[in-house]
A and B are shown apart, each in its own frame.
Chain A
Amino acid sequence: METLFGIPIGSLTTVLTIIFVLSALVTSIMAIRNPIVLKMALRNIPRRRAQTVLIVLGLMLATLLFSASFATGDTLSNSIRVQAVSAIGEIDEIVKSEDREPSGRPKFLDVKAFVEVENALRNSQVDGIVPIIELETTAISVATRRSEPRLSVLGVDPEKVAGFDRILGVNFDLLSPGQIFLSVEEANELDIVKGQKLALYFSPEPSIVEVFDIYDNGASGALLRLEDFQEILSKPEMINGIYISNTGNAVGGAKFSDEVETDLKQITEDIGLSVDTIKKDTLEIADQVGGSLASIFLLFGSFSIIAGILLISLIFVMLAAERKRELGIARAVGAQRNHIVRLFTFEGAIYSLVAAAIGCLLGVLVGLVMVQVIGVALGSTEEFKLEIAFSFRWQSMVLAYTLGMVVTFGVVVISAIKVSSLNIVRAVRDIPEPPSEVVRLNLLIKQIAVVIAQTIRSFASLKIKRAIKLLFLSIPRSLIKFLWAAFLTGYLMILLGIPQVFSGISSEQLTLFLLGLSLTIIGIPLVIRHLFGLSERLAYSIAGALLVILWIVPWDWESFGLPNFDAGVEIFVTSGVTIVVGAVWVVIYNSDYIVNLISRAIGQGRTLAPIVRTATAYPMSSRLRTGMTLAMFSLVIFTLMVVGFINAAFAGAFNDTKRISGGFDITSSVNFSNPIDDFPDEIDQADSLNLDEFLAIGKLSGLPVKIRQSQTEQDFQDWFVTGIDAGYAEYVTYGFTLRDAQYKTDRDVWNALIEDESLAVVSSRIVASGAPEGFREVSDFELENIQRTDSEMPEVFIEIEGPTGAQSKKLKVIGVVEEQAVFARSVIISQTSLQKLSPVPLPVLWYEIALKDPLIAIQTATALEEVFVENGLQAESLEKLVKEQNAISLTFNKLIQGFMGLGLVVGIAALGVIAARSVVERRLQIGVLRAIGFRKEMVQLSFLIESSFIALLGIVVGLSLGFGLSYGIVSNIGEEIPGVSYRIPWSTVIGVTVVAYGASLLMTFIPARQASKIYPAEALRFDE
């Protein structure tokens, strides 16, 4: 893992480490200079142990999520690296002919090319270079008749294998002509032992070789002497590749790849060779996959991290409330406001240090579980099989720790500054804060003017020290105070919002545009409130409702004359946060209606009435606390629901196997070197197959070509084009996302393709989707000036050059195959059209088969493999393939949901913190309640109802927003991908509700019990 969201890990770690060290240094110096404040901070920590545990739990969550994401990324990178190194050993580069055969394989070269390459690398960082022939072929054990349709056979020059000990470390001198070494993996597959014969189908006539010995070095395939292989193929003095091993070990050599490639530049251009820097590329891909995965997890985890930040603020607000009296006393006896800031900062720093360390370690454990889940999911298919090799690099550990620490500590310092502004008298007497006064901006402006005047006077009277203090402390402080007031009263929001709206329009960036619009629509009611005394409830309710409407409705901005906006991944996070903020404002500022409703619904019972009355009154009387907790719950549940809805919509669409497979039941491929002459006829003749059971057989051929889109700046690039026959075109059920207006139905497009050699259709994989960058794969060859979301098919032409360059075609694209067609090839033309691009006859490489009874697909596939074993036919039930791939997606989606679900811990911890705090805070009130007739269990129930109220409100808000936003998202996707429709993910709805609510109750149970055990006489003694 080398990058995170595109930022190099090294730079990120360095910056964060510098911030961390500087913060630690400043905090330490302050601590040394204020030992008494430090002592107070330290002594606060063990005062309430249970609360300290909760605080650390809350604070560690952000670090845990960072650490788990990095551990997952590192492990996947490492697993791919280990697998790659095991498969390719010391090979760093492979040199091959630039030209390819019709089969797609590189052309053979004269062995002289090796000599020239060897000479070119004489002074390079290379410790091994060997000429080879490498081919894949069908192999059948003569004794057991077991087959391997794709055996990799490698012929190497035994004189040159030095430097490749790991991968070629067998004694070739022991081999006689006609003998091979076979890997243990393939020997098991073929059920073959030493001395037995193996038939290799490089042509229709098999070559029989003897297995001399079995080797086990991690690489899979067969090894033989180059000379023997040349003889088998009747290609004396010919090779089809050169392996190069760079100086250094199997991994370290990759760093010289660029150098080696440069050294070979001249020779490769001269004789038409290409250099594949396989090791470097594989390692880069491994790092990219790891980095992308960590980024994905972090992106989805960002909501939990935001919720975690809210929790940290909440914890400090509550700590300040708890210690209000003592802080007031401290201020009364001479402590400055900055002493209070330091007091909280020191305490917070200790919590953060411990929490980040624990979070980092627990994150590794969470990551370990996650990669195991991924490993099991990938291991279920041959295609993606990956042995998980756990890894967590020290750089990632440092990054997770510093990132977690910086985020946590930053929030702690901001919270400390906020809580330090207390009124001494109100704090000492523990009187509640009065409602905030109307902000008088003109007074703040006057204040700035006064400070500026004082500064000038001080300079004029040469009181330089005072002047500097005023200039650098008082003026900025007054300015910040004014700007903050201007922001809170809405004026600055509008001033910032409007230019942002225009900037968003001109840059066509949706997030910028929506954020600008959001600031403006929040600002307007707040300004009206400030100017005309609109009630706080109305101002925030209007602002909140407008925010929700703005972000939740799938607006067609183009119909308002606005541009077709682009959106990046950041919109995922900003939309989630903004919608939740809006909804929480609406709920919190109208809570009395909700409370009345609840009281009417469940508070009518004689026993419940007084309990419900008190239980709902408390959370509604402290808006900040309740609002923050509500936001934490809603945010996490909302995002879980959105992901759940999207998964359900896709699962529904992709469970339609027939639609995905184009109506076929079996897909099969054959060996290029040994094609089948007449497939239906041979089926008819086979005892184990019955041609009557076959409904349709589609034949497909392929050709490596060079391709570009006409009338664009694109260069030609290597691609693979597929040719279909009439049998395929007549039966295939794939529809088209975009279709040339000339054709009325999808079938018309397929028929035209067969009839007209100047036409082509393409897969939606090479056409840009409306999805934001980062949410979609970008293909190397992608059509321009066309999008899947276009309402009609624009005119698009492609140019294709055959493998020799002699034949070429310009084709009109008449359709974009629908997105579910995952088995559709990227560029499809008719077989006759394809043949005209090839100098040699093209064999059929794939057969797509539809059966009258799809239920016999698996057994028919097996029978086909047996009948056509010599042709290397590999057949698979398409339903089985689809199900396997769906299972991987499902596991991955569940994993992401599980990871996001960690955020629920935040909301639940918040409820625990609130409940624990409330027990202390309301001790006297509990005493009074007990005195006037509340039984113990009523007190307990009151606490549980209070937590339930917040948790359920959060769940309802989260679910409602999830239901609302998902409708728009799914409808949008549904327009692009037929079959994707709005389905309620009941398992997610029920699972999330039960887990979130159940855990909340459990978390509140202990504080509620403690509250019920408060002895009234003792509680009331506080009153004396």
Chain B
Amino acid sequence: MMNSPIIAAHSVTKTYQAGEIEVHALNGVDLAIEKGQMVAVMGPSGSGKTTLLNIFSGIDDATSGQVIIDGVSIHGMSDGDRTTYRALNMGFVFQSYNLLPVLTGAENVELPLLLAGKSASSSRKKALEVLDMVEVGDQANKRPSEMSGGQQQRITIARALVNDPAIVWADEPTGALDSETGGLIMDLLCKLNEEREQTFVLVTHDQTVGSRAERLIFMRDGKIESDEVRSKASLIN
């Protein structure tokens, strides 16, 4: 029996103008993702993967259709409410880490907590815990420019997880890393997914990353071409 989905999308379209050409980035996507699932979205460039992530996470608006997160229609919210909703319920991991270069590791991680209105001391405590959890506790007082790519990505993951979000969105989380470091990052993400029962949605080009997810969605031309759910036991470790 299927649990009620944490993410549900109905006929989502996204159209935008590129010069005189109208581009249909998403072309009527229907999708439901269960809580705690680790989903990989794959597809060639321009297939609409990142657009799907942006719209499903509420960063971007859909042209039509509906996205419901945990029973709430996020596109019915105002921009401010949607931002707050993101701050409280979602975490983000980006390809180029996108840490704030002017803040230290710990400061970057505690930022979502401060945004959620937590006190400075409790935020710092929690940030350090999460940094330890992702094995970069020693990078707490360093700035991103002083860290390796893998360390920066771990800090990004810590930032995404620090608020205990229900959903973590990751856009090419290993895209800027060498294969060994990328593998370690995927180990970490899978471990966290297992231990914390958070939903992970990963957008990736990388087959290796895709092979680690229990559900693999393949997109082409703004549509879901295939949707494969695998048992955890069959996954490559």
A residues with a Cβ closer than 8 A to B are 431-432, 434, 603-604, 606-607, 609-610, 613-614, 617-618, 620-621, 924-925, 927-937, 1015-1017, 1020-1021, 1023-1024
- Given A617-B102, A1024-B50: A935 and B114 interface contact (C-beta under 8 Å): no
A936: shortest Cβ distance to chain B, in Å? 6
Bound together, the chains give a CA A625 to CA B196 distance in angstroms of 44
Q: Are the C-beta atoms of B107 and A936 separated by less than 8 Å?
A: no
B116 at interface, CB cutoff 8 A: yes
Q: Are the C-beta atoms of A935 and B84 separated by less than 8 Å?
A: yes
Q: Are the C-beta atoms of A613 and B114 separated by less than 8 Å?
A: yes
Q: Are the C-beta atoms of A933 and B103 separated by less than 8 Å?
A: no
Q: Are the C-beta atoms of B115 and A933 separated by less than 8 Å?
A: yes
26 inter-chain pairs at a CB distance below 8 angstroms, sorted by A residue, are A610-B114, A614-B100, A617-B102, A620-B102, A924-B98, A928-B92, A928-B94, A928-B100, A930-B83, A931-B57, A931-B92, A932-B86, A932-B91, A932-B159, A933-B112, A933-B115, A934-B83, A934-B115, A936-B83, A1015-B60, A1016-B60, A1017-B54, A1023-B94, A1023-B95, A1023-B96, A1023-B171
Interface size on B, residues (CB 8 A): 35
Q: Are the C-beta atoms of B115 and A610 separated by less than 8 Å?
A: yes
Q: A933-B83, A1021-B50 are in contact. List 19 more A-B contacts (CB 8 A).
A: A603-B120, A606-B117, A606-B118, A606-B119, A610-B115, A614-B100, A614-B102, A617-B102, A927-B98, A928-B94, A932-B86, A932-B111, A933-B88, A933-B112, A935-B79, A936-B79, A1015-B60, A1023-B94, A1023-B96
With a 10 A CB-CB cut-off, give which of B50, B107, B120 has the most chain A CB atoms: B120
Bound together, the chains give a CA A621 to CA B99 distance in angstroms of 14
Q: Are the C-beta atoms of B87 and A933 separated by less than 8 Å?
A: yes
Of chain A, the residue at the smallest CB distance from B85 is A933
Contact partners of A607 in chain B: CB under 8 A: 117
B80 at interface, CB cutoff 8 A: yes
Q: Are the C-beta atoms of A613 and B107 separated by less than 8 Å?
A: yes
Q: Are the C-beta atoms of B59 and A609 separated by less than 8 Å?
A: no
Contact partners of B76 in chain A: CB under 8 A: none
Q: Are the C-beta atoms of A617 and B83 separated by less than 8 Å?
A: no
Of chain B, the residue at the smallest CB distance from A924 is B98
B65 at interface, CB cutoff 8 A: no
Contact partners of B117 in chain A: CB under 8 A: 606-607
Contact partners of B87 in chain A: CB under 8 A: 932-933
B101 at interface, CB cutoff 8 A: yes
Bound together, the chains give a CA A604 to CA B118 distance in angstroms of 10
Of chain B, the residue at the smallest CB distance from A609 is B114
- Given A610-B114, A610-B115, A925-B100: A933 and B50 interface contact (C-beta under 8 Å): no
B145 at interface, CB cutoff 8 A: yes
Q: Are the C-beta atoms of B83 and A1023 separated by less than 8 Å?
A: no
Q: Are the C-beta atoms of A1023 and B112 separated by less than 8 Å?
A: no
Bound together, the chains give a CA A927 to CA B95 distance in angstroms of 14
Bound together, the chains give a CA A432 to CA B99 distance in angstroms of 13
Contact partners of A603 in chain B: CB under 8 A: 120
B189: shortest Cβ distance to chain A, in Å? 18
B178: shortest Cβ distance to chain A, in Å? 16
Contact partners of A1017 in chain B: CB under 8 A: 54, 59-60
Of chain A, the residue at the smallest CB distance from B118 is A606
Q: Are the C-beta atoms of A931 and B102 separated by less than 8 Å?
A: no
Bound together, the chains give a CA A693 to CA B90 distance in angstroms of 90
Q: Are the C-beta atoms of B114 and A932 separated by less than 8 Å?
A: no
Bound together, the chains give a CA A59 to CA B56 distance in angstroms of 48
Bound together, the chains give a CA A1021 to CA B95 distance in angstroms of 11
Contact partners of B80 in chain A: CB under 8 A: 935-937
B53: shortest Cβ distance to chain A, in Å? 9
Q: Are the C-beta atoms of A932 and B50 separated by less than 8 Å?
A: no
B40-76 toward A: CB 8 Å interface, digit per residue (1/0)?
0000000000100010010110000000000000000
B221: shortest Cβ distance to chain A, in Å? 17
Of chain A, the residue at the smallest CB distance from B94 is A1023
Contact partners of B95 in chain A: CB under 8 A: 1023-1024
Bound together, the chains give a CA A606 to CA B115 distance in angstroms of 8
Contact partners of A924 in chain B: CB under 8 A: 98
Contact partners of A928 in chain B: CB under 8 A: 92, 94, 98, 100
Bound together, the chains give a CA A614 to CA B112 distance in angstroms of 12
A324: shortest Cβ distance to chain B, in Å? 14
- Given A610-B111, A932-B86, A932-B87: A1020 and B59 interface contact (C-beta under 8 Å): yes
Bound together, the chains give a CA A610 to CA B60 distance in angstroms of 23
Contact partners of B84 in chain A: CB under 8 A: 933, 935
Q: Are the C-beta atoms of A933 and B57 separated by less than 8 Å?
A: no
A945: shortest Cβ distance to chain B, in Å? 14
One of B91, B92, B102, B114 near A621 (C-beta < 8 A): B102
Q: Are the C-beta atoms of A432 and B145 separated by less than 8 Å?
A: yes
Contact partners of A937 in chain B: CB under 8 A: 80
Q: Are the C-beta atoms of A935 and B60 separated by less than 8 Å?
A: no
Contact partners of B112 in chain A: CB under 8 A: 932-933
Contact partners of B83 in chain A: CB under 8 A: 930, 933-936
Bound together, the chains give a CA A607 to CA B87 distance in angstroms of 13
Bound together, the chains give a CA A1024 to CA B94 distance in angstroms of 9
A709: shortest Cβ distance to chain B, in Å? 68
Q: Are the C-beta atoms of A1023 and B103 separated by less than 8 Å?
A: no
B27: shortest Cβ distance to chain A, in Å? 18
Contact partners of B54 in chain A: CB under 8 A: 1016-1017, 1020
Bound together, the chains give a CA A424 to CA B208 distance in angstroms of 33
Of chain A, the residue at the smallest CB distance from B160 is A932
Contact partners of A621 in chain B: CB under 8 A: 101-102
Contact partners of A927 in chain B: CB under 8 A: 98
Of chain B, the residue at the smallest CB distance from A928 is B98
Of chain A, the residue at the smallest CB distance from B156 is A928
Contact partners of B116 in chain A: CB under 8 A: 933
A801: shortest Cβ distance to chain B, in Å? 79
Of chain A, the residue at the smallest CB distance from B145 is A432
Bound together, the chains give a CA A745 to CA B60 distance in angstroms of 87
Q: Are the C-beta atoms of A932 and B59 separated by less than 8 Å?
A: no
Of chain B, the residue at the smallest CB distance from A939 is B83
With a 10 A CB-CB cut-off, give which of A434, A620, A621 has the most chain B CB atoms: A621
Bound together, the chains give a CA A661 to CA B149 distance in angstroms of 79
B148: shortest Cβ distance to chain A, in Å? 13
A604: shortest Cβ distance to chain B, in Å? 7
Contact partners of A1021 in chain B: CB under 8 A: 50
Of chain A, the residue at the smallest CB distance from B81 is A935
Q: Are the C-beta atoms of B103 and A613 separated by less than 8 Å?
A: yes
Contact partners of B94 in chain A: CB under 8 A: 928, 1020, 1023
B131-147 toward A: CB 8 Å interface, digit per residue (1/0)?
00000000000000100
Within 8 A of A (CB), among B143-190: 145, 159, 171
Bound together, the chains give a CA A603 to CA B121 distance in angstroms of 12
Bound together, the chains give a CA A934 to CA B114 distance in angstroms of 10
With a 10 A CB-CB cut-off, give which of B57, B83, B84 has the most chain A CB atoms: B83
Bound together, the chains give a CA A1021 to CA B54 distance in angstroms of 10
Which 8 residue pairs of A and B lie closest in terms of their CB atoms, listed nearest first? A933-B87, A1017-B60, A621-B102, A610-B114, A617-B102, A933-B115, A606-B117, A1017-B54
Bound together, the chains give a CA A434 to CA B95 distance in angstroms of 23
A145: shortest Cβ distance to chain B, in Å? 83
Contact partners of A610 in chain B: CB under 8 A: 111, 114-115
Q: Are the C-beta atoms of A432 and B59 separated by less than 8 Å?
A: no
A621: shortest Cβ distance to chain B, in Å? 4
With a 10 A CB-CB cut-off, give which of A606, A924, A1024 has the most chain B CB atoms: A1024
Q: Are the C-beta atoms of A618 and B102 separated by less than 8 Å?
A: yes
Of chain B, the residue at the smallest CB distance from A600 is B120
Contact partners of A931 in chain B: CB under 8 A: 57, 59, 86, 92
Contact partners of B50 in chain A: CB under 8 A: 1021, 1024
A158: shortest Cβ distance to chain B, in Å? 89
Bound together, the chains give a CA A933 to CA B81 distance in angstroms of 10
Of chain A, the residue at the smallest CB distance from B45 is A1024
Contact partners of A604 in chain B: CB under 8 A: 120
A34: shortest Cβ distance to chain B, in Å? 33
Contact partners of A932 in chain B: CB under 8 A: 86-87, 91-92, 111-112, 115, 159
Of chain B, the residue at the smallest CB distance from A433 is B145
B71: shortest Cβ distance to chain A, in Å? 20
Bound together, the chains give a CA A933 to CA B114 distance in angstroms of 10
